[in-house]
Amino acid sequence: MKVSIVLLIVLSGKVTGWVSRTMNSRTMCRHNSHFGIERSDVMVSTRAPDCLLMVSRSTEEGQQTSSSKEDVIVSPVLKQVYPKLVEYVKTYGHANIPLGSTEGRQCKTLRRLHIQQKLTEKETSLLEDLNFTFSSMEDVYFTGDFDEMLPKLLAYEEEHHDQYQIPKKYKRDPELGAWVTGIRRLGPNGVDPKHAERLDEVNFMWKSKRKCGSKFMKQYRAIRERIETEGQEAVLADEATQKWVRAQRDTYRRGTLSEARQHYMANICGREDWYEI
């Protein structure tokens, strides 16, 4: 509505001329009709200026595009938060709304639905178009219900007897695969101590035999090992480490660094505001 008003003001000269001609033509027609005179030789156009017609068409097309995108949404949560995500992207350039709000909590729900493969391909594509960041494996542990997931883990081991070597992308239960992967990445010192104790009680193997890991986690583990032997101050003073920290800081400021990785960075740097270094 605001855009339409501004455009009308800018084009006021053309609009005024068009309205004036239109009113004069109607007045002339009424006058001639009253005296029984036909003015077939006078051609007065009452068509709106092309610039106004273009504005009208653009507005209609924009509304149709937005409407067509929302038409593919099936998830009630996504349907409710989608307009807010679009607004957030226009302001901040990404759709990762902080958790301290209703919309942020809805985003958290969307991430879990994605892990559970309960979003359609079109819904996932819609979120990807907004640069929406989906959960890391570590986030699945932090957001999941331990008491709900542990029985699933035990059921898997009862069936397979492979020391809990659940694939990261476990087709039968994607959330379980991601949850276990997240726990292994965090390690016994990164999860809740009570959870670590209960996992030890069932002889959970903390290291996967599959030997997989993201580039971030490999670098994180390498730095952690150096800190244990060389000390935090010496490692953080290293140029290579500083370059890596700066890269994670830039990712954080773009709003695309997961909460789990923020936790890792705080752990390495020894301060919660590590991104200010």
What's the pLDDT tens digit per position in 1-45? 444 443 333 344 444 444 344 444 444 334 444 434 343 333 334
DSSP label of 162: S
The reply to whether 14 falls in a domain is no
> Bigger pLDDT: 21 or 262?
262
* Same domain, yes or no: 144 and 192: yes
Structurally, the chain folds into a number of domains equal to 3
- The greatest distance separating any two alpha carbons of the chain, rounded to the nearest whole angstrom, comes to 106
End of a domain among 147, 181, 202?
202
List, as own/partner pairs, every contact residues 190-198 make where C-beta atoms lie below 8 angstroms and the sequence separation is at least 24, other chains included: 190/263, 191/141, 192/146, 195/146, 198/146, 198/150
Q: How many CA atoms lie within 13 A of 68 on its CB side?
A: 6
The reply to whether 31 falls in a domain is no
* Same domain, yes or no: 189 and 229: no
> Bigger pLDDT: 178 or 244?
244
The reply to whether 12 falls in a domain is no
pLDDT at 58: 41
Q: How many CA atoms lie within 13 A of 262 on its CB side?
A: 17
pLDDT at 90 over 70: yes
pLDDT at 49: 46
In order of 70, 95, 130, 160, 180, the CA distances from 99 in angstroms are: 23, 12, 18, 37, 23
The reply to whether 1 falls in a domain is no
> Bigger pLDDT: 101 or 67?
101
pLDDT at 54: 39
Q: Calculate mean pLDDT across residues 159-171.
A: 87
Confidence band of 51 (pLDDT split at 50, 70, 90): very low
Residue found by looking up tokens 């004069």 in the block: 24
* Same domain, yes or no: 143 and 126: no
End of a domain among 180, 202, 224?
202
The reply to whether 126 falls in a domain is yes
The reply to whether 158 falls in a domain is yes
> Bigger pLDDT: 258 or 26?
258
pLDDT at 32: 42
Q: Which of 90-94, 124-128, 134-138 has the highest mean pLDDT?
A: 124-128
* Same domain, yes or no: 192 and 225: no
Of residues 124, 179, 118, 105, the one with CA closest to residue 149: 179
Range of the domain at 121: 74-130
The reply to whether 228 falls in a domain is yes
Which string of b and e fits 179-208 if b means at least 16 CB within 10 Å? bbbbbbbbeeebbeeebbeebeeeebeeeb
pLDDT at 115: 79
Q: Is there a contact between 269 and 256 (Cβ–Cβ < 8 Å)?
A: no
Residue found by looking up tokens 């990445």 in the block: 185
The reply to whether 161 falls in a domain is yes
Q: Calculate mean pLDDT across residues 177-194.
A: 88
* Same domain, yes or no: 196 and 222: no
pLDDT at 149 over 60: yes
Q: Calculate mean pLDDT across residues 247-260.
A: 85
> Bigger pLDDT: 20 or 127?
127
pLDDT at 212 over 60: no
End of a domain among 179, 202, 225?
202
